[in-house]
Amino acid sequence: MGSGQWLVEKRATFRSDSFSDNDNAPETGCLSIVVLGASGDLAKKKTFPALFNLYRQGFLTSNDVHIFGYARTKISDDQLRSRIRGYLTGSKEEEVSDFLQLIKYVSGTYDTEEGFQLLDKEISEHEFSKGSVEGSSRRLFYFALPPSVYPSVCRMIKRCCMNKSDLGGWTRIVVEKPFGKDLDSSEELSTQIGELFDESQIYRIDHYLGKELVQNLLVLRFANRFFLPLWNRDNIANVQIVFREDFGTEGRGGYFDEYGIVRDIIQNHLLQVLCLVAMEKPVSLKPEHIRDEKVKVLQSVLPINYDEVVLGQYDGYRDDPTVPDHSNTPTFATMVLHIHNERWEGVPFILKAGKALSSRKAEIRVQFKDVPGDIYKCQRQGRNEFVIRLQPSEAIYMKLTVKQPGLEMSTVQSELDLSYGQRYQNITIPEAYERLILDTIRGDQQHFVRRDELKAAWQIFTPLLHSIDNGELKPQIYKPGSRGPAEADELLAKAGYVQTHGYIWIPPTL
């Protein structure tokens, strides 16, 4: 057994005891996974590779699983397979070929019944060939599609592809972000889909919730005594949640221009991370208990003050032929959120995301207040910081002041460092999509966004987004490969972040 498999299985054992909210769902039996939009970018880069990794590790087996690709493009099974093949890495050729044989392609439109009837026929044939009793099988539909077609696809699935009776089988749909463009459009989409599927059947994916260190957040916070008394406004000066990419919108300019960095990254990925950093301890690890606490955080966020927002657009963004010449879309944003509750009153949460910056990194940086009555002049060197590096080089480290080794009594900045690459050398960290698809199969919605969470998230950002859309707020141009607009660093300082000078954490090399 590979070490990556060990990691997932250990987690699965722990989870099945404590997390699953759907104890009736059969763990075995015939499973059909349908990737809608199979001809697209997400499907080939993320969805099929995630399925392959699950297959490789024995979570999907040819005994019971079949995978269907569905899209309008007219291609054969083999043509789809060869499109995907190049993205299935890290395995023997034979294993790749065996996996690809599990995939069948069905071509059809997203708003007429013919294609979905054909799809249903193919799925039923597979179920029949596995001896599955009608209604006892599992059908998972992954929407690797633009949200504009979600309602019609849901209608078609409901009409043509549902399990015929309830013998313990299920039908679940996984929908991608961005789910809507603002509060109204998201609510409209939710209502349309909600009329066709129960909330328990809808898995709104935010792949940041599948990242290893994001999944570690609640463990760190609630399984370690020494964080409990510190994690509040008395000790924490500010929190930063940062996403940086060192490449632009390459090849996705058309999509990106409609959404911008706030809808693409901040409203979902960074806000979800904020919830896990700020939420209260849930009653239990049941998905509903966790999501209840996340919603409370979102509902406590105060309206965004535009003086605490800096927007940027990188120079050259509009050169993309799919981007309008006068686009006002931000590719960078820094903003401060305030949570109005007992724990966090007065603590700025700084969310920062940008494309075409100097580096690629996602991290959470919790900065502590100065030591009161400081006798060592620590303030001159830097504050304590607790940093969770989500990627690359996953790590958790704590910046602290220690005595400089030697005869002199002087202090220096150092760190307690849990770098995953070094500490867990033989473990492969699973991809976010891999975990989340497995969660869907197991009926665990903990790491998926509930409808009321989504609504509360849009409530926070909709006024700001409308002000950007109508040109009231304009992004500043910044140089690709830079840190973004200088005003963003000024905003950070104004929010109380104190930069450490003369010390930098360097990820250890193996």
Q: Which parts of this chain interact with ligand NDP (CB under 6 A)?
A: 37, 39-43, 71-73, 110, 144-149, 176-178
Interaction between residue 212 and ligand BG6 (CB under 6 A): no
Measured from the CB atom, the residue of 178 and 194 that comes closer to ligand NDP is 178
Active-site residue numbers?
Answer: 269
Minimum distance, C-beta of residue 178 to ligand NDP, in the bound complex (Å): 6
Residue number with the shortest CB distance to ligand NDP? Answer: 40
Do 126 and 66 meet the contact criterion of CB atoms below 8 Å apart?
A: yes
Coil, strand, or helix at residue 448?
Answer: strand
Q: How far is CA 38 from the centre of its chain?
A: 21
Sketch the per residue contact string, 156 through 195, with ligand BG6: x for CB under 6 A, - otherwise.
Answer: ----------------------------------------
**Tokens 């040109």, residue located:** 471
What DSSP character marks residue 286? S
- How far apart are alpha carbons 492 and 483 in whole angstroms? 13
Q: Give least dist CB 330 to ligand BG6, A.
A: 13
264 makes contact, choosing from ligand NDP, ligand BG6, none, with CB < 5 to 8 Å by partner type, with: ligand BG6
Contacts (Cβ under 8 Å, ≥6 apart) of 249:
256, 257, 317, 320, 323, 331, 355
The pair of structure tokens assigned to 337 is: 């959120």
Q: Give me the least distance between CB of 174 and ligand NDP, in Å please.
A: 10
264 sits near ligand BG6 (criterion: CB under 6 A): yes
With H, G, I as helix, E, B as strand and everything else as coil, classify residue 449: coil
* Residues 295/441, Cβ–Cβ less than 8 Å: no
Q: Are strands 309-314 and 411-419 parallel, antiparallel or unpaired?
A: unpaired
| Of residues 189 and 339, the one with the C-beta less far from ligand NDP | 189
Cα(183)–Cα(203) distance, rounded to whole angstroms?
19
Measured between alpha carbons, how far is residue 221 from residues 224, 332, 507 in Å?
6, 30, 23
The smaller minimum CB distance to ligand BG6, of residues 7 and 356, is found at 356
Residue 73 corresponds to which tokens in the numbers above? 């493009």
Task: Tell the smallest beta-carbon distance from residue 440 to ligand NDP (Å).
Answer: 15
Of 34 and 218, nearer to ligand NDP (C-beta) is: 34
Phi, psi for residue 442 in degrees, rounded to 5? -85, -5
257 binds ligand BG6 (CB under 6 A): no
Q: Which does 71 bind (CB under 5 to 8 A by kind): ligand NDP, ligand BG6, none?
A: ligand NDP
User: What, of ligand NDP, ligand BG6, none, does residue 39 touch, CB below 5 to 8 Å by kind?
Assistant: ligand NDP
Task: State the nearest-atom distance from the C-beta of 4 to ligand BG6, in Å.
Answer: 18
Residue ranges in contact with ligand BG6 by CB under 6 A: 207, 245, 264, 362
